[in-house]
Amino acid sequence: MTLSGWGTIAAFAVSLTLLALPLGRYMAAVYTGQWTVLEPVMRHPERWLYRLLRVDPHRGQDWRSYARSLILFSLAGWLILYLVLRSQGLWNFTGLNPMRFASAPWNVTFNTASSFVTNTNWQYYSGETTLSYFSQMAGLTVQNFVSAAVGIVVAVALIRGIAKRVTDRDAAEANSIGNFYGDLVRTILYVLLPISTVVGIVLIWQGSIQNFSPYLSFTGVTHLAQRIAMGPVASQEAIKLLGTNGGGFFNTNSAHPFENPTGLSNFVEMLTVLIIPAALVFTYGRMVGNRRQGYAIYTTMMVMFLGAVIVCYVAEAHGSPAQHAAGLHTAAIAGSSGGNMEGKEQRFGIAGSALFNVVTTVTSCGAVNSAIESFTGIGGAVPFANLSASEVIFGGVGSGLYSILLYVLLAVFIGGLMVGRTPEYIGKKIEAREIKLVALGILITPLAALLSTALATASRAGRASIDTAVAHGPQAFSETLYAYLSQANNNGSSFAGYTGYVGHVGNGAGSHGITFADLLGGMTMLFARYAPILFALAVAGTLVSKRVSPAGLGTMRTDNGTFVVLLIGVILLVGALTFFPALLLGPIVQGLTGHLYPGAGR
């Protein structure tokens, strides 16, 4: 551990909060239809888009109608993406496939399309050997924008459901939770586009590339012919992070120097990942008319986030028992940060890698700048724990907020009983219908993760994805569990090894997808994305027109320290009780022993 390491972490937490506060206020203005600074610039494209989509953004939708629009929009997006990826060769005339890549097989494409539409960005392929620039831009980057926007609008709709005060329950707009297309367009034009433009320019300044050149060939110092992959990287990198998508342009993701060139770009990238999830919490506080409600949730998230960062950083800076046994120096000395540097980039160091790792696994980003599987036992257990907490510690853009709000409602229900009143949140009573939706909304993700992991470990077809030459026993289990935890949580990061696409080199000749893993993963992502969205929207729909009771002394407060403790307790308990047995057989076994189980297998 070094002073600069702790300094980086502290500076990050402070910068994040300072940036998120004004952005939260700005986004509240965006979603309540108020004037914003970007109005003069975006007013016209906004109107054109509405005309193009033939929607009236002021026409409110009830939750069913809102959900229908969302599902139809996502379905269309999925089909377009699938077709773009499968027809990669047809677009060569655009000049955006200089390496003449053919399409990946149908099963891998099914997984990839599902992955990007659901904001997961799980990648069984590697970008620089599979996808054309056209596919990256017209296919993936488009989804990076719209899938992020879909997540955000669901959060906004749920906020409206909680915040809205309906005086006349028979009024036409009484059940309206907003207009899906209006929210979508405003999210993209007023939030995602401007910020990602700024971030893209910063990344180019720091050394990211942005071109359509063919790959560069050269002979390296070892006299071997090598190639350097090119592409429009910076633009995709910016939205990949801002939308908590995480799908790298290159296989090595943000560890690649063209994606993440410097220590400064690393810092900016981490801020870019967390800025919207953090700001949305403040947006929430403003929109429900009580900023303290936002601060309480922010505190909950920040406490859990810092807890994860501290554990991960300390574990990585300390190094593993095996490294100590091997006599590798693990203390920070002049010229070396010490600790476990395996799988980490020198330019980021241990703090920059540990922090990036936590930032992208608490959110559903899933970008990586270091190899998670090379982390120490305890350090590597942190991303598992983050995923087990169902992405509510900041979480994905929008999905983090709507997921934690479901946990808030659960905590309110249990806590509300303990103060002797029918539980109520922001004045609205939490009754049987809400609890049913909340329970299902919360349990879907762990359910999907556990069931798909069970299918993958119990079947021969599932075990085919494990490279038994290098992974056995607990490592093989960890890879599998992580793969489905990651896909169920729409995260997208991976614990190396587990694959659904074999031998994908060069032009793809001789390679094939592993149908079982591709389909299981794809369906897990779709199910675990849209089921909670529907439940969150249904909660918004049932809360929106509920009678509001004024708060009194007998009402449980949800904006103070006691509630934060209760909320953290509920999140940890649900996560721990659900995943403890599974984690036991993967990361915990590995963290408890230095034994590598060579050839043990099954």
The residues binding other proteins (CB under 8 A) are: 410, 413-422, 427, 430-432, 434-436, 439-440, 443, 446-447, 450-451, 453-454, 457-458, 473-474, 476-477, 547-550, 552-557, 560, 562-563, 565-566, 569, 573, 576-578, 580-582, 584-585, 588-589, 592-593, 595, 597, 600, 602
Residues forming a β-bridge with 218:
226
The answer to whether residues 190 and 30 touch, using CB atoms and an 8 Å cutoff, is: yes
- Residues 6 or more apart whose Cβ sits within 8 Å of residue 451: none
Q: How far apart are CA 557 and CA 412, in angstroms?
A: 9
Q: How many CB atoms lie within 10 A of CB 38?
A: 16
Q: How far apart are CA 342 and CA 227, in angstroms?
A: 25
The answer to whether residues 162 and 178 touch, using CB atoms and an 8 Å cutoff, is: no
The alpha carbon of 498 is separated from its chain's Cα centroid by a whole number of angstroms, namely: 19
Run of H or E residues at 446: helix 432-458
C-alpha dihedral (512, 516, 522, 523), degrees to nearest 10: 160
Q: How far apart are CA 89 and CA 104, in angstroms?
A: 11
Closest by CA position to 397, among listed 114, 110, 254, 188: 188
Q: How far apart are CA 249 and CA 365, in angstroms?
A: 14
- Strand runs labelled E in 274-400: none
b (16+ CB within 10 A) / e for 66-100: bbebbeebbeebbebbbebbbebeebeeeebbebe
At residue 97, the 3 state secondary structure works out as coil
Q: How far apart are CA 230 and CA 212, in angstroms?
A: 7
Q: How many CB atoms lie within 10 A of CB 183?
A: 27
- Residues 6 or more apart whose Cβ sits within 8 Å of residue 297: 281, 284, 285, 401, 404, 408, 567
Rg (CA), the chain: 23
- Residues 6 or more apart whose Cβ sits within 8 Å of residue 477: 457, 585, 586
The tokens describing 438, both together, are 């909340």
The answer to whether residues 540 and 162 touch, using CB atoms and an 8 Å cutoff, is: yes
